[in-house]
Amino acid sequence: MSVTVPRNQVRAAAAGVAVTFGLNGVAVATWFARVPAARDALGLTPGALGLLLLSMSFGACLAMLTAGEVTHRLRPKLTVSVSAVTVAVGLAVAGVGIGAYPSPWLTAIGIFTLGYGSGLCDVAMNVEAAEVERAIGKTVMPRFHAMWSLGTVAAAGMASFAAWAVLPVTAHLAVVAVVVAGGTLVAARTYRFAGEADHGRGSGVLAAWREPRTLLIGLLVLVLAFTEGTANDWVAVAFIDGHEFDPALGALVFGVFVTTMTFGRIFGTILLDRWGRVPAIALSMVLAAAGVAVAVFASSALVAVVGVGVWGLGTALGFPVGMSAAADDPARAAARVSVVAVIGYTAFLAGPPLVGFLGNEVGVLRALLIVPMLLLPALALVPMLKPVKESSTP
């Protein structure tokens, strides 16, 4: 960072980043928690639902392809502001497509727009977060991601109440859209950093695509994102179909997942500081795999929910540590975060239809077993997370 920022402005920027993460989590989780309602309102099979969910993932991945360059040119503050409006529009359109004017196509357009705005915001807020972390001089990235998780917890609780109260999905998503847009625009006003960007240079995104470490971190993040995304998209549906929960309880199961994931992100920094990235992430991946197995095979509904909690705990650190590892060297932090995010978000592109089509064959609950089948081989990639020294040149 070339300009020294006063400590009060650093603190304000940290608060603004935290709010941005939280509201982004609210927006995304509001949709995830109302997936069962969308499925029922539109009369979708598991395979058709998987294709609908693909719309959001495709929007996010499309955003990720250019988010590094956009953030470099516009800076995080303006990029986050634009993305907030995009997310709000997407939520509102999806709500209309589910409730006021039921249409799979209109819903798909809405969640595509939601995914695009969320993907753009994801890279920009992580770049700002990395600079804030550097200015503070302490590891805080997982706690920013914990704010995202807290946002999902709040959204899951609100969605469960909305389902219980039979609140129209259109009204629910419209209210959330207004809150997310307004809150994020206010939060972005506190941003004080431009990442590593020197606007006389290119962003370095193309060069980052040729770096083996960056690509391997991206591949690991892909598996970790698939682990998280599968729960986001399918855990409520799986428990409704496989364990015969009602929709309100299904939303609460999703809430258990995001609650334990939040807990892991808040307190997981203790493990990271004590053991380092590699042992902590290896342990978390094993926990996630074990949690999925318990959630699928448990004969007791309570034990199955405990399995979901372990799954959430094991998922907690993967994505934020991947972002931190990509940003180890500030010389190309935005470019590398962008590349890792693009690769990681491929999981959200391929995951929904993959689990959906498997669900057509074996049921959605058993289809969740694809998660440990990917997690365990991916343990071989964990050493890529070892910290690297900053380069002296860009």
What's the token pair of residue 38? 């969308």
Instruction: Classify each residue of 72-96 as buried b or exposed e, where b means 16 or more C-beta atoms within 10 Å of its C-beta.
Output: bebbbbebbbbbbebbbbbbbbbbb
Q: Which residues of the chain have pLDDT under 70?
A: 1-5, 194-203, 331, 348-349, 389-394
Crossing angle for the helix pair 169-188 and 141-164, nearest 10 degrees?
Answer: 160
Amino acid letter for position 361: E
DSSP 381: G
Q: Which of 343, 350, 280 is nearest to 315 (CA)?
A: 280
Phi and psi dihedrals of 196, rounded to 5?
-90, 5
Maximum Cα–Cα distance across the chain: 61
Note the pTM of the prediction, 2 decimals. Answer: 0.76
CB atoms within 10 A of CB 196: 25
CA dist 176 and 22 (Å) reads 13
Residue 27 pLDDT: 95
pLDDT of residue 349: 66
Q: What is the spatial distance between Cα 301 and Cα 306, in angstroms, rounded to a whole number?
A: 9
Listed residue (263, 214, 9) closest to 128, CA to CA: 9
Rounded distance between C-alpha atoms, residue 53 and residue 31, angstroms: 10
Q: How far apart are CA 10 and CA 20, in angstroms?
A: 15
Q: Looking up tokens 């900053």, which residue turns up?
A: 390
Q: In whole angstroms, give the CA distance from residue 340 to residue 320.
A: 11
> What per-residue confidence (pLDDT) applies to 198?
47
Query: How many CB atoms lie under 10 A from the CB of residue 255?
Result: 26
User: Does residue 370 sit in helix, strand or coil?
Assistant: helix
How many CA atoms within 13 Å lie on the side-chain side of 248? Answer: 7
Look at residues 113, 144, 120 and name the one whose alpha carbon lies nearest to residue 16. Answer: 144
Beta strands in the chain (DSSP E): none
pLDDT digits (tens, 9 = 90+) for 93-121: 999 999 888 899 999 999 999 999 998 99
* Residue 131, CB-side half-sphere exposure with 13 Å CA sphere: 29
CA pair distance 222, 220, nearest whole angstrom: 5
Q: Which residue has the tokens 């969308």?
A: 38
Backbone torsions φ then ψ of 279, nearest 5 degrees: -65, -40
Distance between CA atoms of 113 and 297, rounded to whole angstroms?
Answer: 36
Q: What pLDDT score does 393 carry?
A: 41
| 319-331 confidence digits (pLDDT tens) | 889 988 887 877 6
Q: What are the b/e assignments for 350-360, b being 16+ CB within 10 Å?
A: bbbbbbbebbe
